[in-house]
Structure 1
Amino acid sequence: MSDQDFGAAASPFSDAARARLAMAYEACELAGLARGAVPVGEHELRPDGTTRSPGSVLAGAAHVLKAAQRFFDAAAVCERLGGASWEVIGDVLGVDARTARARFTAAEACFREELRSPDAVPATTAPDGSGWWRAYTAGNPLEAALDLDDWVLRHEDGSESRGGGDESVLGPAPVSGGLTPHGEQPSPGGN
């Protein structure tokens, strides 16, 4: 049975778990973009060390910054749907509750709307192409979680993360295994 068969109201995961899943993807995307900035391409630099394509390094950094902003927004939404009040979020960020609410209300409202109407999520909202993930996760949360399981296991550092054997320390389901099934909602965040 596909996630599409569940519909928006009958997702296999709670809303809070789906917010955590969305945050996990944003972290995955951020990690990929940052990782891509590390290697120096074979023909990237001229013999004198200057770049062959002025502006490309800054453009890449701008993509990383945008991804970091999406991760930051997703983390706030995850906290809210996980039960955190605006006061808690404000305290973590060193601002008052009103400032925290003003900063993240739109992101929370957008996420809640995506939960209600996953078919209405545009797959190409972001200029960098990241909007496809929101549409995919909204309509297919179980598949998205399994994809992230695979990503984590492929990127697990064998020397630091694994014990003596070949089996993952994180287990076979490092993302999907920790998500809260539908019906186990935390209490909603306060004002």
Structure 2
Amino acid sequence: RAMGVETTNGKVLIPESLSKEIITYAQEENLLRKYGTRVQTKGTQGYPVLVKKAKAQRIKTERALDNPIPQTDINFDEVFLNPSEIDALVLITKKLLAMTDMPVEQTVIEELKKSYVEEEANFFFNSTDNPGSLIQKAVAFNPGNMEVYDKLVRLKNSVPTSKLKNSR
């Protein structure tokens, strides 16, 4: 945000191309970034989240005055967004850069990409601090009294096809 981070020897700047490279990598690797929708809000206002969808009805005959269209309910819940930042600082000596022909800068960039995505995914999927994380929204899988094979088939079929084709 401040176009640099204060360190003991001055400010460290991140080129815009590098930040775009890291964000692009995060969008490719993190499923919630890949399939999620980005919504910008102003200030600290709440964001409405649909919690109960509308229910449509089917009727085989034409509606009459004695058979009006029934009302359906839609419910919204308000979620307050709490922004958080992920950062990392890697210090490399000039001596290391002079000693090796290995592309140290590219290795550092690759490791930073992986580190950012790992931390972000952990926040999205496993964080107890994030009320929107998937672990907070998870419910226990309770198939009832079924045979083991039926349980496995039901568990396999509960994953959406788009996720299933990329899973192992």
Q: When you count strand as a share of all residues, which structure comes out higher?
A: 2
Q: When you count helix as a share of all residues, which structure comes out higher?
A: 1
Tell me the TM-score normalised to structure 2 length.
0.23
Higher relative contact order (CA 8 A, sep 6+): 1
Tell me the TM-score normalised to structure 1 length.
0.21
